[in-house]
Structure 1
Amino acid sequence: MHLNMFDQFKCPEVFFIPTLIPTMMMIILLFRNTAVLMGGRTSTLLSWITKQITKNLMSQLSPMGQKWTNLLMALLMFILLSNLMGLLPYTFFTTSQLSMNMAMALPLWLGTVVLGFFSKPNSATAHFLPEGSPAPLSPMLILIETVSLLIRPVALGVRLTANITAGHLLIHMVSHTTMELLDTKTILPCMTVTLLLALTFLEIAVACIQAYVFTLLLSLYLEENT
């Protein structure tokens, strides 16, 4: 039993070995080394989903921005697997840690900004002062645009952390309530179990959506700077 609701976001250990390591190594079992000429239905479906996601994310980018396709798709798969693996028992949510999410958001956002200043410096600097702005308001507008630019990586990291953390805290509270109500001979345990199942499916959807949103926002930042 957790002494604190936030204990579920700590990496459990067995014989001083983090359980995250064998959990991540289990992904290797999903791949087969046998060569086949044609993939099965599962591989075909995964290939189709990957193509559709790539098309939606990268179709609006310039040829320079499309060079980031492999990096952004690898980031999408990493966040998606991290979110989904965190739903398994005795695992660890890497994406529930703000330091982890900021370590992904800050370098990638900075890379898009630096790329914009090198590829088209005039357009990149023009974002700080919209065309036709009144001269007296120019210093304030430049300050606002600078703050909005610098807040982007923070928004990326905090959004992912808050969504993952909030969902699992809610599941933890509902599951604890369900265990407390099991001894009561009322309809309340059935209602809480139903709610818990609904929250679990909702959290699976949130895990997929947040991985897509994180990558989509980075592609939009990349579109502005390429």
Structure 2
Amino acid sequence: MGNLFVESFQKLGTTELMLLLLNVIMAIAMSLVVFLAYRITYRGVAFSKKFMISLGMMCIVTTIIMNVISNNVALSLGLVGALSIIRFRTAVKDVRDATYIFWCIGIGICCGVSMYAQAAIGTAAIFLFLIVWGQTRSDGKFLLVVKSNAEAQGNVEAAVKGYFNKHAHMRARNSRHDQVDFIYELGHRDVIKAQDRHSISIAETLLKLEGVLSVDLVQQNDDISR
């Protein structure tokens, strides 16, 4: 067993060993850029250090695999066949997490075949793109949820339209027995302008109406991780 281990190093050669180490070092260096970009642009609630470590491991593993199969067609075909039977069922909570995974795979592929310039240029371009656009936020949406008696639904609709100057979009109206639930979609700017114009919140306005049971104004996000 020990002889096989020594022979494998002897077959590898000093030049190939140094090239492998250089490839791994470059992959680690560029994975640090990925870490930095992920840390700066992440806006979720629960920051996962395990995911960051997994990204670095992915860069190194992909680099080693590419270094092994780069000059061996048989190994490359065998690897494709082996990976085709693997199924990853881990749910990705954020769409951008999947892009970071592909980013690390790309770094590993480039570093594994010693294409450092391509890896560096691509990493720099993605990093700058994330810094510029990754921290931008949309105007934001609000959901206005109103519960009222059936007799008050006409007054509720009129009050909402008048308060927001017809900028409120009704998304749902659920009726059951003598109760009606309204769901309106509102723009963030529309909410601010309406409050400045009336000097009173929409909740206070609606709760003054007879038959209104509750009023909730909820901020709507594009995903559950924010």
- The answer to whether the superposition gives a TM-score over 0.5 is no
TM-score bracket, shorter-length normalisation: under 0.3
User: Under a length normalisation based on structure 2, what TM-score does the superposition of the two structures give?
Assistant: 0.27
Larger strand fraction of residues: 2
Greater per-residue helix proportion:
1
- Scaled by the length of structure 1, the TM-score of the pair is 0.27
Larger radius of gyration: 2
**Structure possessing the higher relative contact order (Cα contacts under 8 Å, 6 or more residues apart):** 1
